[in-house]
Amino acid sequence: MLANPFAGAKVRGGAKTGDLDASRAFTEGEWLLVRTIAEGLEWSYGWSAPAAQRLCFLLDFGFATGLRVSELVGAMLGHIDRDACGEHWLRVTGKSRT
Q: What is the rounded CA–CA span in Å between residue 46 and residue 36?
A: 15
pTM: 0.60
Q: Within a 13 Å sphere around the CA of 79, how many CA atoms are in the beta-carbon half?
A: 10
Closest by alpha carbon to 75, among 56, 84, 87, 88?
A: 88
Say how many residues make up the chain: 98
DSSP state of 95: T
What are the pLDDT tens digits along the chain (98 aa)? 566 666 666 656 656 666 656 666 788 899 899 999 999 999 999 999 999 999 999 888 888 888 888 888 888 999 999 999 999 998 887 666 55
- Please list, residue by residue across 67-88, b when 16 or more beta carbons sit within 10 angstroms of its beta carbon and e when fewer do: beeebeeebeeeeeeeeeeeee
